[in-house]
Amino acid sequence: MRVLVVLGTRPEAIKLAPVIEAMRADPDIEPILVSTGQHREMVATALDWFGITPDHDLAIMTPNQTLTDVVTQAMKGLDGLILEHKPDAVVAQGDTATVFAAALAAFHRQIPFGHVEAGLRTYDLEHPFPEEGYRQLVSRITRWHFCPTQRAATAVRDEKGQGIVHIVGNTVVDALLSTAERVKQTNVTARDRRYVLITGHRRENHGAAFDALFGALARLAEMNPDVDFIYPVHLNPNVQKAARAHLGGKANIQLTEPVSYPEIVRLMLGAAVICTDSGGIQEEAPSFGVPVLVMRQTTERQEAVDAGVCELVGNNPERMVERAHELLAHPERFTARDTPNPFGDGLASKRICDVLTGRDYVPFQP
């Protein structure tokens, strides 16, 4: 079975790396990996950690592109590769322009599409934008819905679309567990101060929301001079400008370049608190028992909230400062440190291969 696997961003690279590894180890699958180049440098760094190199790089990004430009260029490139390789299936992960383009390109050529991480929903097309729209649209033309959880599977079934729903767990847990084992085996000097890990990049937070959130983080740092605040700043110019304006030059705030995947795992392992708008970190942190404050209005990963690992603070700066300060002052009040990760068990990639090849499998249950 020949499978065209498509990715474009760093999170997609991380979440599809174990899938590609499982496919390459499966005698019944021939994977062909395509990078659209949506986040080209960050994708290359992430894949390097797993020893993976794309078979094709579409290199679609140019300055000042619109979302329409990105989708159009990706679809054109993917259409050519579908004609060249004649795959039996196309697989992509998540909810970006790359995934939308991959699903449409497959649909137009009547190639079955497999959607990894299917069924995540906020039911608010503006939060997150454009991701919520993309994933709802993609579900309408998907053959295999690879859902991470029962909640996600129910969301797909409730929409009464076509395709078959499979509860496989989230592949990010596969990547995380293997990476954490390797990271723990390396000799790195432990930090002598507690720290808060910050990540933030989502489009809906650009502008006034980031101004408010970063201003709040600056106040939080002043309130906790004995705690470091580490922020690997995303390369997006909108994020860079706001972060450096509000957080630059503070004694206990470290603004760094984007870090490698193993380094972000290392930082998560040791963090006292994580403040993030990242979907992936909401899925990963439960494995480490680290409290997460989610800087978003909504989350499509409600399982982590229900488990008590993540808490929505929206873009309410006062709420974020209050909760982070409390968690730093009274870490014992966080009671979900030993809660099992509700998103996966490390076997999602194997289940995906079993589904594609028609083999029996045992669905994921937390």
Domain co-membership, 195 together with 78: no
Handedness of CA 198, 203, 208, 209 (dihedral sign): negative
- Tell me whether residue 296 is in a domain: yes
Task: Please determine, for residue 265, whether its predicted confidence score (pLDDT) is greater than 80.
Answer: yes
Q: What is the pTM of this model?
A: 0.89
Does the active-site annotation cover 311?
Answer: no
Domain co-membership, 290 together with 257: yes
Domain co-membership, 10 together with 148: yes
- Tell me whether residue 182 is in a domain: no
* b (16+ CB within 10 A) / e for 91-125: bbbbbbbbbbbbbbbbbeeebbbbbbbbbbbbeee
Average pLDDT rounded to a whole number, residues 152-177: 97
Average pLDDT rounded to a whole number, residues 202-206: 67
Does the active-site annotation cover 131?
Answer: yes
Does the active-site annotation cover 56?
Answer: no
Task: Please determine, for residue 205, whether its predicted confidence score (pLDDT) is greater than 70.
Answer: no
Domain co-membership, 112 together with 194: no
Q: Using one digit for the tens of pLDDT, what is the confidence trace for 268-313?
A: 999 999 999 888 899 999 999 999 999 888 899 999 999 999 999 9
Count of structural domains within the chain: 2
- Tell me whether residue 366 is in a domain: no
Which element (helix H / strand E) includes 90?
strand 89-93
Domain co-membership, 261 together with 141: no
Give the distance, in angstroms, between the CA of residue 313 and the centroid of all CA atoms in the same chain.
Answer: 19
State percent of the chain over pLDDT 70: 98
Q: Using one digit for the tens of pLDDT, what is the confidence trace for 4-53?
A: 999 999 999 999 999 999 999 999 999 999 999 988 888 999 999 999 99
Domain co-membership, 87 together with 199: no
- Tell me whether residue 185 is in a domain: no
Q: Which of 117, 132, 174, 354 is catalytic?
A: 117
- Tell me whether residue 365 is in a domain: no
For residue 199, what is the domain's CATH number? Answer: 3.40.50.2000
Domain co-membership, 310 together with 349: no
Q: Which of 39, 145, 166, 201 is catalytic?
A: 201
Q: Using pLDDT thresholds of 50, 70 and 90, give the confidence band for residue 212.
A: confident
Domain co-membership, 268 together with 145: no
Q: Using pLDDT thresholds of 50, 70 and 90, give the confidence band for residue 204.
A: low
Domain co-membership, 329 together with 348: no
301 token code pair? 């990963």
Q: Which of 109, 203, 206, 219 is catalytic?
A: 203
Domain co-membership, 159 together with 308: no
Alpha helices in 224-346 (DSSP H): 237-247, 261-270, 279-284, 302-306, 317-329
Handedness of CA 71, 203, 40, 5 (dihedral sign): negative
Does the active-site annotation cover 127?
Answer: no
Task: Please determine, for residue 193, whether its predicted confidence score (pLDDT) is greater than 70.
Answer: yes
- Tell me whether residue 339 is in a domain: no
Q: Which residue has the tokens 């996966």?
A: 344
Any residues with CB less than 8 A from the CB of 358 and at least 6 apart, and which?
none
Q: Using pLDDT thresholds of 50, 70 and 90, give the confidence band for residue 316.
A: confident
142 token code pair? 């998907």
Does the active-site annotation cover 95?
Answer: yes
CA distance 141 to 134: 11
Are 171 and 50 in contact by the 8 Å Cβ rule? The answer is no
Domain co-membership, 117 together with 207: no
Q: Using pLDDT thresholds of 50, 70 and 90, give the confidence band for residue 108.
A: very high
- Tell me whether residue 200 is in a domain: yes
- Tell me whether residue 184 is in a domain: no
Q: Which of 21, 131, 204, 354 is catalytic?
A: 131
Model pLDDT, residue 361: 98
Domain co-membership, 75 together with 162: yes
Q: Using pLDDT thresholds of 50, 70 and 90, give the confidence band for residue 87.
A: very high
Domain hosting residue 64, numbered range: 2-170+344-357
Q: Which of 12, 21, 26, 95 is catalytic?
A: 95
